Amino acid sequence: MGFVNGIAKAPFLAEIDLARCDYCGDCMRACNVKGIGLAADARGQPRVERFAGVGAQVCLDCGACIDACARGAIRLVPRPGPKRPPRTKGQMFARILWEKGRLWPFLTDRAQQSWRSLIRGRLDND
């Protein structure tokens, strides 16, 4: 569904009220990044019981789907995850490594390098 990790994401996310959604497709046509589609819970259901779902990684919070929904089934909710930008450059890079699943390999590699340099320093002093 859509363009994952798109730019310019707002701190909100579109959410669909399942009781109001009739799976008409207006919100899907209005979505600029193709972030709305058939919800995973609705797969295999009869047409009258289907409902749409929003891809949290894709939604840019542009509001196009809200205006397109005639039944008022879409609203904005706070986006899960970090809300504050990192204070330092180091925190920013740590967050990027964490999101990519590469923070622990980076830290263990740095720790090994530190231990090696510490041991080399002691061997040189002996």
* Within-domain flag for 4: no
CATH value at residue 64:
3.30.70.20
* Within-domain flag for 50: yes
Asked if pLDDT for residue 3 goes beyond 70, the answer is no
pLDDT tens digits, 56-115: 888 888 889 999 999 999 999 988 766 677 788 888 888 888 877 888 888 888 888 888
Q: Note down the domain range covering 121.
A: 89-125
Q: d(Cα 25, Cα 44) in Å, to the nearest integer? A: 17
CA 80 to chain centre: 8
What is the DSSP-derived secondary structure letter of residue 38?
E
Burial track 103-116 (b if 16+ CB lie within 10 A, e otherwise): eeeeeeeeeeeeee
Q: Do 27 and 73 belong to one domain?
A: yes
What value does the mean pLDDT take over residues 20-29?
A: 91
Query: 80 vs 36, which has greater pLDDT?
Result: 36
What value does the mean pLDDT take over residues 7-34?
A: 86
Q: Do 114 and 71 belong to one domain?
A: no
Query: 33 vs 47, which has greater pLDDT?
Result: 33
Q: Do 21 and 70 belong to one domain?
A: yes
* Within-domain flag for 83: no
Structural domain total, the chain: 2
- In this prediction, residue 69 carries a pLDDT of 93
Q: Do 93 and 116 belong to one domain?
A: yes
Q: d(Cα 66, Cα 72) in Å, to the nearest integer? A: 7
Q: Do 61 and 98 belong to one domain?
A: no
Asked if pLDDT for residue 23 goes beyond 80, the answer is yes
* Within-domain flag for 55: yes
- In this prediction, residue 1 carries a pLDDT of 45
Q: Do 22 and 66 belong to one domain?
A: yes
Query: 75 vs 6, which has greater pLDDT?
Result: 75
Q: Do 32 and 62 belong to one domain?
A: yes
- In this prediction, residue 124 carries a pLDDT of 61
Q: Do 23 and 65 belong to one domain?
A: yes
Query: 88 vs 10, which has greater pLDDT?
Result: 88
